[in-house]
Amino acid sequence: MQLQLVVVETGQSWRRALLRMVWDPKGAIGHSDYGSFERQGSSSNPEEDSQHPQLRAGASLPLSPLHSQQATTSNMSDTDLIQRQPLLPLPAKNGHHITVEYEEDGEDHSEDEGRSGVKANGVVKINIPKTEREEQRYPKEKWKTLMAFLCVFFGTLMSVASLSLVHEKVPDKETYPPLPDIFFEFFPQVDWALDVSEIIIMVSSNVTFLIILFHKHRYIVFRRMFLIIALLYLMRSVTMYVTVLPMSSTTYYCSPKANVTTPWLLTKRVWQLMSGFGLSINGKHTYCGDFIFSGHTVVLTLCYLLINEYSPDSPKRLFQLLSWTSFIASTTAVFMVLLSRGHYTIDVVIAYFATTRTFWIYHTLANNASLKKPGPHNYLARAWWFPIFRYFEGNVGVKVPRQHEWPLPWPRRFLHKPPNRNS
């Protein structure tokens, strides 16, 4: 919608006509918003009678049916006149009045778009941006969320398939000792620390899932989480396969090597690893060689970033405490991974940088509409996954707010919304 202010010049005849129509004071009995149509007697102001001889004493107009008796006469200022005539334009000090005109949405003003100010014909134009519905700014696009879930399934499948192949290439730990690591020099190995780390992973994952589930725009947030995990696991499947490191732990159990890789053996290993969700606490993760980079660190870091980004704003202290608790828990779990010799320190460092940079670059692109278009100055658009990102985030125009709601259609009392007091 566009607002236009038009300045129009008027003469004395317009003011005289109004003086004839509106003469009663505001306190007169039977006064209406459009004034009285009768005046009897002489005015208390002789100057006005001399200026308007047609309204002098003895000249009367028919009485309006809205009045039950004659109205008294008095002086009327310009302010009183304006208040008595609310539908008339406002007079300015220089004898002009301002007319406000609105242009409806849908009119073609592409040539004037983005321009405002006083034009040569006296029109004052003020551009008002069009309001967008919430459904347009935050589209659910459930099919895209389903496709993002398929992407994370494919990324996880590639990661465990890579591990199934790497298991055959891992150097014998009896022949090749662990590589020198600065963390290993200061802290002794603790085998049960890996179980503690994986318990923290399960708790953090469930808390993150609940926060996203109760988010008002949960489909968008789930879509982003799935895509980021898919990107990280695809990169991990490559780095894990190209460089195979010796075992970092001398006590971790590894399944015997088959010395041959067949499709059936690969499928069996993939199913075993995926059924255990990549955790060793349930006894399914018995294949070795998944070092660069740490999958445990990826999950822990991503859980903290999602909680910190999408947790509610209020009550502020409660969710600030939740964010700090997630940070401390993730840091403790990573420390436990290193303490159990589940990974080298380089695995954790690379996983931290890969996760945080992918998360921050993705959200920087998502929260800035100008960065969603490739151009000579948008170097972020040169990422290999930018076309995938553009497809999934192309219709999300602005930053996703921290709004949460009850996700289920029952019970109904949780779905009740308080009335809008600002309407």
Q: How does pLDDT run across 393-410, given as a tens digit for each residue?
A: 888 877 888 888 888 877
Cα–Cα distances (Å) from 347 to 164, 276, 344, in that order, read: 19, 22, 5
What does the pLDDT read at residue 333?
95
| List 109, 296, 313, 377, catalytic entry | 296
423 exposure class (CB count in 10 Å sphere: 0-12, 13-18, 19+): exposed
- The residue to which tokens 């600065």 are assigned: 182
What does the pLDDT read at residue 397?
74
Count CA atoms closer than 13 A to 406's CA, side-chain side. 10
- Residue with the bigger pLDDT between 299 and 70: it is 299
Neighbours of 288 (CB within 10 A): 21
User: Distance between terminal CA atoms of the chain?
Assistant: 20
- Residue with the bigger pLDDT between 249 and 48: it is 249
Mark whether 343 is an active-site residue.
Answer: yes
What is the tens place of the pLDDT at every residue in 117-163? 555 555 666 666 655 555 567 888 899 999 999 999 999 999 999 99
Mark whether 112 is an active-site residue.
Answer: no
- At residue 198, does pLDDT exceed 80? yes
15: confidence class by pLDDT, cuts 50, 70, 90: low
7 forms bridges with which residues in the sheet? 98
Token pair, residue 210, equals 């609940």
pTM, two decimal places? 0.66
What does the pLDDT read at residue 259?
82
Mark whether 296 is an active-site residue.
Answer: yes
What is the tens place of the pLDDT at every residue in 28-55? 444 444 444 444 444 445 454 455 544 4
Token pair, residue 208, equals 């993150």
Q: DSSP string spanning 95-161?
A: SEEEEEEEE-TT---GGGTT--EE-TTSEEEEE-PPP--HHHHS---HHHHHHHHHHHHHHHHHHHH
Q: What is the mean pLDDT of residues 181-197?
A: 92
Averaged pLDDT score across all residues of the chain: 77
- At residue 201, does pLDDT exceed 70? yes
β-pairing, 123-127 with 2-9? antiparallel
174: phi then psi, degrees, rounded to nearest 5? -75, -25
Token pair, residue 340, equals 């159990």
Helix (H, G, I), strand (E, B) or coil at 204: helix
Q: Could you give the CA distance from residue 287 to residue 169 in angstroms, rounded to a whole number?
A: 11
Q: State percent of the chain over pLDDT 90.
A: 38
In 182-295, the DSSP E strands lie at none
| List 167, 215, 343, 404, catalytic entry | 343
Highest mean pLDDT range out of 24-33, 117-126, 251-260, 351-360?
A: 351-360
